Chains A and B, each alone.
Chain A
Amino acid sequence: MADANAPSKYDAGFAREVYGLENGSYVKQCMQCGVCAVSCATFQCMDHSPRRLFALVRAGRKDEVMRSNTPWMCTTCLMCKARCPRGIPIVDVMHDLKGLALKEGRVTYPQAAMYQAFWKDMSGRGKMFTAGIMKNYTLKRGLGNLGKMMGLKDFGLKMFSHGRVPLMPPKAPKGKKQLMQMVKKAQELERKGAK
């Protein structure tokens, strides 16, 4: 567990950097009530609750925020977003913080590898193919993770024996190339719009 009270470097520009992300300025609205924490499905696994993470953003504690597992623990169950009395789309702020962490090369959590594995596979074919994602994920996590992957053997074999694991990838949409052109354009426009 990271200690939020330990001395750390104050990064004056960090809060502004986060506020400039797509949903980042919502962090300013947080009134520190903690409804998000008591609503969260994975709060017990987080090193900071969403409330506390937002306080750290405002305090310019970049390193702790970027090191935090909190955004990666989020399952997008939307409970906090539905309950937040200030209407903060907390889940969407977490998307931004994940994206920022990936951009900064903070990819130690297995969940970060899963996100990258998903995108690498999906963006190449326009649809999701589990076997392709698992291949990317296994390669990214490397040999040290093989023991953990073996723990999933039982699950994988059962899914397979019940006819639930297609070995061939799905038929890619004909407009796959155009789809990626749209994504690229949207990313450009989003960057241009950000201050």
Chain B
Amino acid sequence: MRYFLYPGCSMEADARFYTTSLTAVTQALDIELEELPDWNCCGATMASGVIGDAPAQVMALRNLAIAEASGGLDVVVGCSSCYMNLAQANRRFREDPHFRALAEESLAAGGMKYGGGVKVRFVLEMMVNDVGYERIAARVKRPLTGLKVAGYVGCQSVRVLPWEFDDPEQPVVLDKLIEALGATPVPFTHKARCCGSYHNVPQTGIVTACARDILVSAGDADLMVTPCPMCQMNMDGFQSYVNKEFGTKFNMPVLFFTQLMAVAFDLAPATYGLKANIVTPGPVLAPYGVQM
């Protein structure tokens, strides 16, 4: 299986260890991920608010035009926001003739052409639909039996195209993946609620309020996993702010799901990237023989 990987800006910066663990895990599953050549920013959540939806979606489509011209492999996306922008632009390009005409003319202004033939895949969806739970379970060499895991899906990936691969409000795919690793997914009502997103800088109180509700909802989980760089950063990096503001004592490690897969697959420890996690998962993973 071969794909283009659209890493997006955060996966080559603050979430570099997501890319590292993803690369290792996909290699172990005989998946080839090739970085999309000359990719650009998807527009994040903010470009649309400044320049408008259509121009921001044209930005996103430039990436798919490159993918089409370079062989047309499916484009795998790890970041929720990148997935939202690429998948939504792609759907609109196919379904809205007015937008399609605008996009074609705009791409041509930069010397590019897109025919709408590329598929945009969320990494979690690719993992469970193309690889499958059984093959993932078969690759597990260090079953995480007894580990209670809160599968925090976050918001944009499951809701941008509702029911494309999961329930937009109570998703199950991540929980099933956790089960395939031998761990136990905990009941978690807030698994698709918002982490507060970009308010972390302009209005930190919004993020701490959202994060507290999510942490409470995760109950007695030993750790949390997520596929989203923004969720990971807010839940991990602002957990001490939650504790300070609300007098709580949360100490919940927040990992990318690919880090937990790398652990369960017993891959080289350098690929886990656990030192990048601010709340250390050391104590909860020690019983499984993981050394930090």
Chain A interfacial positions (CB closer than 8 Å to B): 22-23, 41-42, 44-45, 71, 73, 75-79, 81-82, 92, 94-96, 98-99, 102, 109-111, 113-116, 118-119, 122, 126-130, 134, 137, 151-152, 154-155, 158-159, 162-166, 170, 173-176, 178-179, 181-187, 189-190, 193
Contacts and interface: CB of A to CB of B under 8 A. Distances in A.
B73 interface: no
Given A42-B206, A190-B55, A130 B106 contact: no
Given A77-B194, A181-B109, A173 B52 contact: no
Contacts of B9: 127-129, 170
A153 to B, nearest CB: 11
Interface stretch (B132-140, B216-224, B274-282): B274-282
Interface in B73-126: 81, 84, 98, 102-103, 105-107, 109-112
A182 B49 contact: no
In the A-B complex, list the 4 residue pairs whose CB atoms are closest, starting with the nearest: A178-B110, A77-B194, A110-B202, A41-B194
Interface residues of B, number: 68
B102, B202, B233 interface centre (most CB from chain A within 10 Å): B202
A155 B241 contact: yes
A184 B51 CA distance: 9
A122 B194 contact: no
A136 B251 CA distance: 33
A79 B102 contact: no
A82 B203 contact: no
B165 interface: no
A178 B111 contact: yes
A126 B40 contact: yes
Contacts of B203: 45, 110-111
B237 A77 contact: no
Contacts, number: 210
B111 A115 contact: no
Contact of A95 (B53, B102, B112): B53
B49 A115 contact: yes
A109 B206 CA distance: 14
B285 interface: no
Given A22-B52, A99-B51, A193-B98, A114 B112 contact: no
Contacts of A179: 40, 59, 62, 110
A94 B14 CA distance: 28
A79 B154 CA distance: 11
A114 B106 contact: no
Determine the main DSSP class of A at the interface with B. Answer: helix
A28 to B, nearest CB: 18
Contacts of B176: none
B49 A95 contact: yes
A175 B40 contact: yes
Contacts of A155: 200, 237-238, 241
Nearest to A69: B203
A152 B233 CA distance: 13
Contacts of B193: 41, 77, 79
Contacts of A178: 62, 110-112
Nearest to B43: A122
Given A159-B278, A175-B62, A184-B109, A102 B14 contact: no
Nearest to B155: A77
Contact of B197 (A22, A76, A122): A76
Given A41-B210, A162-B275, A176 B194 contact: no
B13 A130 contact: yes
B179 to A, nearest CB: 26
B80 to A, nearest CB: 10
Given A122-B41, A178-B111, A77 B156 contact: yes
A164 B102 contact: no
Contacts of B33: none
A23 B50 contact: no
8 contacts: A79-B155, A79-B193, A99-B49, A118-B46, A118-B50, A119-B51, A155-B241, A189-B105
B142 interface: no
B59 A166 contact: no
B204 A152 contact: yes
B159 A175 contact: no
B14 A164 contact: yes
A142 B16 CA distance: 31
